[in-house]
Structure 1
Amino acid sequence: MPAIKSRRGPTKGDQRERALLDAARAVFRDKPINQVTIDELATAAGIARSGFYFYFESKQALLAALVDLVIGENDLEMAEWLASDGLDRAALRLGLSRALARWKVDGRWLREAFINPDPGPDVQQIRDRLVAEGCSAFSRRIERDARAGLTVMGRPPLLAAMAVNLRSVTFADAYADPGAYPDDELLDTLTDAILRLVYGVTPDRS
């Protein structure tokens, strides 16, 4: 008789940790992280202050865990373009539009995590890994097109790092000054800038 396999759902601990992450994401959207208190985060998550420290040592540790979630979101946003070949402007613009939408909501804490030159060791470690993984995914795509003779001269890892950094800085600036440029203009310009950087050309938009 075959063994019955159990399907364990999230434990209460899993749910509380996720509640803290969701609460932090909401609170960090509205206030600078250095102005947010542990009590505020615990209350927003519906747990006691002591419960916060069961899961996270500090606000920075919580922010690091929140940044860690971004890794999966980045993969989903850019999935179509990273899986395709050639310029594929439409897929690249789509991925960038998804990322811009996230930055417009979560830009306050994303700037703290990705633009702050000294975000703290917990966040720095996660940020370094996220940037490295993002650059690696870009680089692998560029390498495929380089073998096909489609890209400009230059090492794919360096081109990828430039593209990823350009994306982050552009979105951080867009959050800081949301009225500076219309979204469509910003996305079209960023899309074409990345394509020119990597391929030396851009496709006709018509």
Structure 2
Amino acid sequence: MAAKRRDTPSKGDQREQAILDAAETLLEREHTEPMTVESIAKGAGLSRGSLYFYFGSKQEVLAALVARTVARLQMDEQSTDLDSPVRDVVRKAVENTARAWREHGTVMRAAVDFSAEVPEIARLWHGTIANNTEAMARVLVAAGLSDEDGPAGAAAIANALCWMTERNFYHASAQPSGLDRMTETMVEIWCRVLPGA
């Protein structure tokens, strides 16, 4: 007899998501209320002891929150549809990244800030940049850039541009309308490396 598939999240899953939601809310007001295990638990409607059933520390909560957020940033074959005009693919990729920064900038800035002291956050963040670099390198090769393994190759250029995009969106996301203008600037920079630009 096949196991019955569960369509709704378990209570444990819901509590874990509540903990992550509470941590994200606390990050948004970190300047007025420091985030502690106690404040995260309280925000999730749990006792401190109950939180430890799911996460061993504040750093583990932050790493899980970053993992949930960067899952939305990972580019796949669909997000780099090479049947579309390359400029459209580039624009869509930059706009999707900007949307993630707009919706979860606090978490993403925390990922950058905490990656030096929390190895799991560094692994998640750098892994996401590496994934997106690989996806965008395929786009640049499809546009006609060299696939050579060197500083002028598509992989090296995509890597530099992905990190440039990350750094610029990091700063722009802290300002109310900063992302709109920066999105257009980053689209322009990405498109200028395309052959014939």
Shorter-normalised TM range = 0.7 to 0.9
**Once the two structures are superposed, what CA deviation does each residue of 1:62-94 show, in whole Å capped at 9, x if it has no partner?**
111111123331136x86551225753234323
Equivalent residue runs for 1:102-121 within 5 Å: 102-115=100-113, 118-121=116-119
Question: Equivalents in 2 of 1:166, 1:68: separation in Å?
Answer: 21
**Once the two structures are superposed, what CA deviation does each residue of 1:153-202 show, in whole Å capped at 9, x if it has no partner?**
732321221121111111111123445x572x4222210201223x2444
After superposition, the Cα gap between the structure-2 partners of 1:94 and 1:137, relative to the gap in structure 1 and judged at 3 Å, is closer
Q: Which of 125, 128, 138 is the matching residue for 1:127?
A: 125
Question: Equivalents in 2 of 1:12, 1:201: separation in Å?
Answer: 55
Which deviates the most, 11-20 or 116-125?
116-125
Question: Equivalents in 2 of 1:189, 1:121: separation in Å?
Answer: 32
Conserved 8 A contact 2:94-2:187: yes
Question: Equivalents in 1 of 2:191, 2:107: separation in Å?
Answer: 28
Question: Equivalents in 2 of 1:119, 1:30: separation in Å?
Answer: 21
Question: Equivalents in 2 of 1:95, 1:38: separation in Å?
Answer: 36
Residue of structure 2 equivalent to 1:171:
169
After superposition, the Cα gap between the structure-2 partners of 1:83 and 1:119, relative to the gap in structure 1 and judged at 3 Å, is farther
After superposition, the Cα gap between the structure-2 partners of 1:65 and 1:117, relative to the gap in structure 1 and judged at 3 Å, is closer
After superposition, the Cα gap between the structure-2 partners of 1:129 and 1:63, relative to the gap in structure 1 and judged at 3 Å, is same
Conserved 8 A contact 1:68-1:130: no
| Structure 2 gap segments, 5+ residues each | none
Question: Equivalents in 1 of 2:62, 2:32: separation in Å?
Answer: 9
Question: Equivalents in 2 of 1:25, 1:118: separation in Å?
Answer: 19
Conserved 8 A contact 2:22-2:44: yes
Query: Percent identity, aligned pairs only?
Result: 27
Equivalent residue runs for 1:170-189 within 5 Å: 170-178=168-176, 183=180, 185-189=181-185
Structure with a larger share of its residues in helix: 1
Residue of structure 2 equivalent to 1:48:
47
Residue of structure 2 equivalent to 1:151:
145
Residue of structure 1 equivalent to 2:87:
89
User: Residue 73 of structure 1 aligns to a residue in which SS?
Assistant: coil
* TM-score with structure 1 setting the length: 0.77
| RMSD, aligned α-carbons | 2.9
| Structure 1 gap segments, 5+ residues each | none
Larger RCO of the pair (alpha carbons < 8 Å, separation 6+) = 1
* TM-score with structure 2 setting the length: 0.81
Residue of structure 2 equivalent to 1:72:
71
Conserved 8 A contact 1:29-1:106: no
Deviation at 1:117, TM superposition (A): 6.1
Question: Equivalents in 2 of 1:27, 1:5: separation in Å?
Answer: 39
After superposition, the Cα gap between the structure-2 partners of 1:113 and 1:89, relative to the gap in structure 1 and judged at 3 Å, is same
Number of paired residues?
192
